Amino acid sequence: MEKMMCADAKQLDLVDYLASLGHQPAKVRNQDYWYLSPLREEKTPSFKVNRTLNVWYDHGTGKGGDLVDFGTQYHKCTIRELLETLSRYKPGTSLSFQPPSLPGPSSPPRPFFAGEKKESPDNKIVILDSRPLADHALVDYLEKRGIPLDIAQRSCREVDFLLYGKQQTVIGFPNRSGGYELRGEHFKGSSAPKDISFMDNRTEQIIVFEGFFNYLSFQAINKNLHAPLTNCLVLNSLSFLEKSRPLMEKHSQVFLALDRDAAGMSQTKQALQWDRDKYIDRSDFYRGRKDLNEWLTHQNHQHLSPRESQRIGRRF
Protein backbone atom coordinates (compact mmCIF):
# COMPACT_ATOMS: atom_id res chain seq x y z
CA MET A 1 0.00 0.00 0.00
CA GLU A 2 1.43 3.37 -0.97
CA LYS A 3 1.84 5.71 1.99
CA MET A 4 -0.06 8.98 1.76
CA MET A 5 1.70 12.24 2.60
CA CYS A 6 0.17 15.30 4.27
CA ALA A 7 0.25 17.30 1.04
CA ASP A 8 -1.68 14.52 -0.74
CA ALA A 9 -4.29 14.34 2.04
CA LYS A 10 -4.92 18.07 1.84
CA GLN A 11 -5.78 17.72 -1.86
CA LEU A 12 -8.63 15.27 -1.18
CA ASP A 13 -12.03 16.86 -1.71
CA LEU A 14 -13.51 17.72 1.70
CA VAL A 15 -17.11 17.43 0.51
CA ASP A 16 -16.48 13.91 -0.82
CA TYR A 17 -14.60 13.00 2.34
CA LEU A 18 -17.47 14.14 4.58
CA ALA A 19 -19.88 12.14 2.42
CA SER A 20 -17.73 9.05 2.96
CA LEU A 21 -18.20 9.57 6.70
CA GLY A 22 -21.98 9.86 6.29
CA HIS A 23 -22.26 13.67 6.45
CA GLN A 24 -24.30 15.46 3.79
CA PRO A 25 -24.68 19.25 3.45
CA ALA A 26 -27.86 20.83 4.80
CA LYS A 27 -27.59 23.60 2.20
CA VAL A 28 -25.30 24.67 -0.63
CA ARG A 29 -24.68 28.27 -1.68
CA ASN A 30 -22.33 28.57 -4.63
CA GLN A 31 -19.08 27.00 -3.37
CA ASP A 32 -20.10 27.05 0.31
CA TYR A 33 -21.44 23.76 1.71
CA TRP A 34 -23.14 24.06 5.12
CA TYR A 35 -23.36 21.09 7.50
CA LEU A 36 -24.56 20.29 10.96
CA SER A 37 -21.16 20.22 12.60
CA PRO A 38 -19.64 16.72 12.57
CA LEU A 39 -17.50 17.78 15.54
CA ARG A 40 -20.29 18.59 18.01
CA GLU A 41 -24.05 18.53 18.56
CA GLU A 42 -26.08 21.30 16.97
CA LYS A 43 -29.44 21.86 15.26
CA THR A 44 -28.59 24.81 13.00
CA PRO A 45 -25.92 24.20 10.33
CA SER A 46 -22.85 26.31 11.14
CA PHE A 47 -20.05 24.13 9.78
CA LYS A 48 -18.99 25.48 6.38
CA VAL A 49 -16.81 23.94 3.69
CA ASN A 50 -15.61 26.18 0.88
CA ARG A 51 -15.14 23.70 -1.95
CA THR A 52 -13.03 26.04 -4.04
CA LEU A 53 -10.46 26.56 -1.28
CA ASN A 54 -11.08 23.04 0.10
CA VAL A 55 -11.15 24.30 3.68
CA TRP A 56 -13.65 24.17 6.55
CA TYR A 57 -14.70 26.54 9.32
CA ASP A 58 -16.88 25.76 12.34
CA HIS A 59 -18.61 29.00 13.36
CA GLY A 60 -19.69 27.50 16.68
CA THR A 61 -16.14 26.97 17.89
CA GLY A 62 -14.21 29.46 15.77
CA LYS A 63 -11.90 26.72 14.46
CA GLY A 64 -11.15 25.60 10.93
CA GLY A 65 -8.50 24.34 8.57
CA ASP A 66 -7.87 21.70 5.92
CA LEU A 67 -8.79 18.03 5.67
CA VAL A 68 -5.91 16.93 7.91
CA ASP A 69 -6.98 19.39 10.63
CA PHE A 70 -10.52 18.06 10.40
CA GLY A 71 -9.58 14.38 10.28
CA THR A 72 -7.38 14.46 13.37
CA GLN A 73 -10.11 16.20 15.36
CA TYR A 74 -12.93 14.04 14.03
CA HIS A 75 -11.17 10.72 14.62
CA LYS A 76 -9.19 11.93 17.66
CA CYS A 77 -6.00 10.54 16.22
CA THR A 78 -2.51 11.60 15.23
CA ILE A 79 -1.63 12.79 11.76
CA ARG A 80 0.28 9.55 11.13
CA GLU A 81 -2.76 7.42 12.01
CA LEU A 82 -5.00 9.57 9.83
CA LEU A 83 -2.66 9.25 6.83
CA GLU A 84 -2.57 5.46 7.23
CA THR A 85 -6.39 5.38 7.09
CA LEU A 86 -6.56 7.81 4.16
CA SER A 87 -4.21 5.54 2.20
CA ARG A 88 -7.17 3.10 2.02
CA TYR A 89 -9.69 5.81 1.13
CA LYS A 90 -11.29 5.97 -2.30
CA PRO A 91 -13.69 8.83 -3.20
CA GLY A 92 -17.29 7.68 -3.53
CA THR A 93 -16.96 4.92 -0.95
CA SER A 94 -17.71 4.89 2.75
CA LEU A 95 -14.72 5.21 5.03
CA SER A 96 -14.32 3.28 8.26
CA PHE A 97 -11.72 4.33 10.77
CA GLN A 98 -10.22 1.90 13.24
CA PRO A 99 -9.24 3.94 16.30
CA PRO A 100 -5.80 3.11 17.67
CA SER A 101 -5.60 0.73 20.59
CA LEU A 102 -4.52 2.34 23.82
CA PRO A 103 -0.91 1.58 24.69
CA GLY A 104 -0.46 -0.95 27.46
CA PRO A 105 1.60 -0.35 30.59
CA SER A 106 4.72 -1.77 28.95
CA SER A 107 4.24 -0.03 25.60
CA PRO A 108 6.94 2.50 24.72
CA PRO A 109 5.85 6.12 24.35
CA ARG A 110 4.68 7.09 20.86
CA PRO A 111 7.55 8.69 18.95
CA PHE A 112 7.20 12.16 17.48
CA PHE A 113 7.37 12.14 13.71
CA ALA A 114 8.92 15.01 11.83
CA GLY A 115 6.29 17.00 10.05
CA GLU A 116 3.50 16.10 12.50
CA LYS A 117 2.55 19.70 12.99
CA LYS A 118 -1.19 20.15 13.19
CA GLU A 119 -1.43 23.79 12.26
CA SER A 120 0.23 25.68 9.48
CA PRO A 121 0.55 29.46 9.12
CA ASP A 122 -1.43 29.30 5.86
CA ASN A 123 -4.70 28.30 7.55
CA LYS A 124 -4.46 30.86 10.34
CA ILE A 125 -5.90 34.35 10.27
CA VAL A 126 -3.03 36.81 10.53
CA ILE A 127 -3.92 40.37 11.54
CA LEU A 128 -1.98 42.86 9.43
CA ASP A 129 -3.32 46.26 10.49
CA SER A 130 -6.20 48.04 12.21
CA ARG A 131 -7.47 51.60 12.07
CA PRO A 132 -10.65 53.63 12.74
CA LEU A 133 -13.67 52.25 10.90
CA ALA A 134 -14.30 54.18 7.68
CA ASP A 135 -14.32 51.84 4.65
CA HIS A 136 -17.37 52.57 2.46
CA ALA A 137 -18.28 48.94 1.88
CA LEU A 138 -18.14 48.22 5.62
CA VAL A 139 -20.18 51.34 6.41
CA ASP A 140 -22.82 50.17 3.91
CA TYR A 141 -22.83 46.74 5.58
CA LEU A 142 -23.35 48.34 8.99
CA GLU A 143 -26.25 50.33 7.58
CA LYS A 144 -27.86 47.14 6.28
CA ARG A 145 -27.56 45.69 9.79
CA GLY A 146 -29.13 48.80 11.33
CA ILE A 147 -25.99 50.01 13.12
CA PRO A 148 -25.10 53.75 12.99
CA LEU A 149 -21.46 54.35 12.13
CA ASP A 150 -20.76 56.46 15.24
CA ILE A 151 -21.91 53.61 17.48
CA ALA A 152 -19.80 51.03 15.63
CA GLN A 153 -16.75 53.31 15.77
CA ARG A 154 -16.86 53.33 19.59
CA SER A 155 -16.26 49.57 19.79
CA CYS A 156 -14.97 48.36 16.42
CA ARG A 157 -11.94 48.78 14.19
CA GLU A 158 -11.34 48.39 10.49
CA VAL A 159 -9.04 45.37 10.26
CA ASP A 160 -6.83 44.00 7.50
CA PHE A 161 -6.03 40.29 7.78
CA LEU A 162 -4.42 37.54 5.74
CA LEU A 163 -5.94 34.07 5.24
CA TYR A 164 -4.81 31.48 2.68
CA GLY A 165 -2.60 34.10 1.09
CA LYS A 166 -5.48 36.50 0.49
CA GLN A 167 -5.81 39.88 2.21
CA GLN A 168 -9.26 41.06 3.30
CA THR A 169 -10.63 44.09 5.14
CA VAL A 170 -13.48 43.63 7.62
CA ILE A 171 -15.05 44.97 10.80
CA GLY A 172 -13.05 43.91 13.86
CA PHE A 173 -14.52 43.69 17.36
CA PRO A 174 -11.76 43.20 19.97
CA ASN A 175 -11.94 40.74 22.84
CA ARG A 176 -10.22 41.04 26.19
CA SER A 177 -7.26 38.85 25.15
CA GLY A 178 -6.26 40.80 22.04
CA GLY A 179 -8.10 38.75 19.42
CA TYR A 180 -10.82 39.99 17.08
CA GLU A 181 -14.24 38.87 15.97
CA LEU A 182 -14.16 39.59 12.23
CA ARG A 183 -17.22 40.35 10.13
CA GLY A 184 -17.93 41.51 6.62
CA GLU A 185 -20.87 41.05 4.31
CA HIS A 186 -19.29 37.86 2.96
CA PHE A 187 -17.03 36.82 5.82
CA LYS A 188 -17.44 35.59 9.37
CA GLY A 189 -14.49 34.48 11.47
CA SER A 190 -12.20 35.32 14.36
CA SER A 191 -8.50 35.71 15.09
CA ALA A 192 -6.69 34.03 17.94
CA PRO A 193 -6.91 34.18 20.85
CA LYS A 194 -10.67 33.65 21.08
CA ASP A 195 -12.22 35.19 24.20
CA ILE A 196 -15.11 37.23 25.60
CA SER A 197 -15.51 41.00 25.38
CA PHE A 198 -16.52 42.83 28.56
CA MET A 199 -17.66 46.45 28.74
CA ASP A 200 -17.52 47.73 32.33
CA ASN A 201 -19.85 50.69 32.84
CA ARG A 202 -19.57 50.49 36.63
CA THR A 203 -23.06 49.13 37.21
CA GLU A 204 -24.32 46.25 39.34
CA GLN A 205 -26.26 44.74 36.44
CA ILE A 206 -24.97 43.07 33.30
CA ILE A 207 -26.55 42.09 29.98
CA VAL A 208 -25.15 39.14 28.04
CA PHE A 209 -25.08 38.87 24.23
CA GLU A 210 -23.96 36.02 22.01
CA GLY A 211 -22.43 38.14 19.23
CA PHE A 212 -21.22 41.71 18.93
CA PHE A 213 -23.82 42.83 16.37
CA ASN A 214 -26.43 42.26 19.07
CA TYR A 215 -24.38 44.38 21.47
CA LEU A 216 -24.17 47.15 18.86
CA SER A 217 -27.92 46.81 18.33
CA PHE A 218 -28.47 47.29 22.07
CA GLN A 219 -26.43 50.48 21.89
CA ALA A 220 -28.39 51.67 18.85
CA ILE A 221 -31.74 51.02 20.54
CA ASN A 222 -30.64 52.98 23.61
CA LYS A 223 -28.77 55.79 21.86
CA ASN A 224 -31.33 58.42 22.91
CA LEU A 225 -31.22 57.52 26.60
CA HIS A 226 -29.07 59.66 28.89
CA ALA A 227 -28.53 57.15 31.70
CA PRO A 228 -25.36 55.03 31.43
CA LEU A 229 -25.83 51.59 29.94
CA THR A 230 -25.52 48.54 32.13
CA ASN A 231 -22.35 46.46 32.01
CA CYS A 232 -22.23 44.36 28.84
CA LEU A 233 -20.74 40.95 28.12
CA VAL A 234 -20.34 39.64 24.57
CA LEU A 235 -19.59 35.91 24.65
CA ASN A 236 -18.33 35.70 21.04
CA SER A 237 -19.12 31.98 21.36
CA LEU A 238 -21.74 30.15 23.41
CA SER A 239 -18.97 27.93 24.71
CA PHE A 240 -17.89 30.83 26.93
CA LEU A 241 -21.19 31.11 28.83
CA GLU A 242 -20.33 28.72 31.64
CA LYS A 243 -16.72 29.91 31.73
CA SER A 244 -18.04 33.47 32.25
CA ARG A 245 -20.21 32.51 35.20
CA PRO A 246 -17.79 33.89 37.85
CA LEU A 247 -17.83 37.28 36.08
CA MET A 248 -21.63 37.27 35.77
CA GLU A 249 -22.05 36.22 39.42
CA LYS A 250 -20.36 39.43 40.55
CA HIS A 251 -23.48 41.33 39.44
CA SER A 252 -26.79 41.63 41.25
CA GLN A 253 -28.75 40.82 38.08
CA VAL A 254 -27.80 39.16 34.82
CA PHE A 255 -30.00 39.87 31.79
CA LEU A 256 -29.70 37.22 29.07
CA ALA A 257 -30.12 38.37 25.45
CA LEU A 258 -28.92 35.27 23.65
CA ASP A 259 -30.09 34.12 20.23
CA ARG A 260 -33.52 32.54 20.03
CA ASP A 261 -32.29 29.48 18.15
CA ALA A 262 -32.00 26.02 19.68
CA ALA A 263 -28.45 26.51 20.97
CA GLY A 264 -29.08 29.96 22.42
CA MET A 265 -32.31 29.01 24.14
CA SER A 266 -30.70 25.87 25.56
CA GLN A 267 -27.93 27.96 27.13
CA THR A 268 -30.48 30.46 28.43
CA LYS A 269 -32.38 27.62 30.08
CA GLN A 270 -29.18 26.37 31.67
CA ALA A 271 -28.35 29.79 33.13
CA LEU A 272 -31.87 30.19 34.53
CA GLN A 273 -31.39 26.90 36.36
CA TRP A 274 -28.36 28.35 38.12
CA ASP A 275 -30.41 31.08 39.83
CA ARG A 276 -33.79 32.27 38.62
CA ASP A 277 -33.65 35.35 40.84
CA LYS A 278 -30.33 36.55 39.43
CA TYR A 279 -30.61 35.43 35.79
CA ILE A 280 -33.41 36.98 33.72
CA ASP A 281 -34.26 36.07 30.13
CA ARG A 282 -34.82 39.21 28.04
CA SER A 283 -35.02 37.47 24.66
CA ASP A 284 -38.82 37.76 24.73
CA PHE A 285 -38.21 41.36 23.65
CA TYR A 286 -37.35 40.08 20.16
CA ARG A 287 -39.66 37.06 20.10
CA GLY A 288 -40.28 35.92 16.55
CA ARG A 289 -36.76 36.96 15.47
CA LYS A 290 -33.50 35.02 15.71
CA ASP A 291 -31.68 37.72 17.64
CA LEU A 292 -31.73 41.39 18.63
CA ASN A 293 -30.03 42.56 15.46
CA GLU A 294 -32.58 40.81 13.24
CA TRP A 295 -35.32 42.49 15.28
CA LEU A 296 -33.63 45.91 14.93
CA THR A 297 -33.22 45.52 11.18
CA HIS A 298 -36.92 44.69 10.89
CA GLN A 299 -37.88 47.71 13.01
CA ASN A 300 -35.71 50.03 10.92
CA HIS A 301 -37.57 48.95 7.80
CA GLN A 302 -40.71 50.26 9.48
CA HIS A 303 -39.13 53.75 9.79
CA LEU A 304 -39.85 54.40 13.48
CA SER A 305 -39.95 57.99 14.67
CA PRO A 306 -37.37 59.19 17.27
CA ARG A 307 -40.12 59.17 19.93
CA GLU A 308 -41.05 55.57 19.13
CA SER A 309 -37.39 54.57 19.20
CA GLN A 310 -36.96 56.18 22.61
CA ARG A 311 -40.04 54.34 23.93
CA ILE A 312 -38.61 51.03 22.71
CA GLY A 313 -35.27 51.86 24.37
CA ARG A 314 -36.99 52.22 27.73
CA ARG A 315 -38.41 48.71 27.38
CA PHE A 316 -35.07 47.06 26.66
Residue 106 belongs to some domain of the structure: no
Shared-domain flag, residues 26 and 59: yes
Q: Which residues on neighbouring strands pair with residue 29, listed in sequence order?
A: 32
Indicate the residue among 190, 205, 228 that finishes a domain. Answer: 190
Longest dimension (CA), the chain: 76
Shared-domain flag, residues 176 and 255: no
Residue 136 belongs to some domain of the structure: yes
Closest residue by Cα to residue 214 from 246, 153, 256: 256
Shared-domain flag, residues 230 and 297: yes
Shared-domain flag, residues 204 and 311: yes
Determine the pLDDT at residue 114.
33
Mean pLDDT of 282-286: 94
pLDDT at 239 over 50: yes
pLDDT, tens digit, 9 for 90 and up, residues 74-90: 888 888 888 888 887 76
Q: How many domains does the chain have?
A: 3
Shared-domain flag, residues 268 and 288: yes
Shared-domain flag, residues 130 and 75: no
Shared-domain flag, residues 181 and 157: yes
Residue 107 belongs to some domain of the structure: no
Residue 114 belongs to some domain of the structure: no
Residue 115 belongs to some domain of the structure: no
Residue 237 belongs to some domain of the structure: yes
Shared-domain flag, residues 169 and 236: no
Determine the pLDDT at residue 301.
67
Distance CA 163, CA 122 (A): 7
Residue 165 belongs to some domain of the structure: yes
pLDDT, tens digit, 9 for 90 and up, residues 93-130: 444 444 333 333 333 333 333 333 334 455 578 899 99
Shared-domain flag, residues 229 and 255: yes
Determine the pLDDT at residue 302.
61
Domain coverage including residue 186: 122-190
CATH code for the domain of 30: 3.90.580.10
Indicate the residue among 145, 175, 190 that finishes a domain. Answer: 190
Distance CA 109, CA 114 (A): 16
Distance CA 222, CA 217 (A): 9
Determine the pLDDT at residue 305.
52
* 0.85 surpassed by pTM: no
Indicate the residue among 140, 172, 190 that finishes a domain. Answer: 190
Shared-domain flag, residues 81 and 157: no
Residue 105 belongs to some domain of the structure: no
Shared-domain flag, residues 134 and 241: no
Shared-domain flag, residues 233 and 274: yes
CATH code for the domain of 215: 3.40.1360.10
Beta pairing, strands 63-65 & 55-58: antiparallel
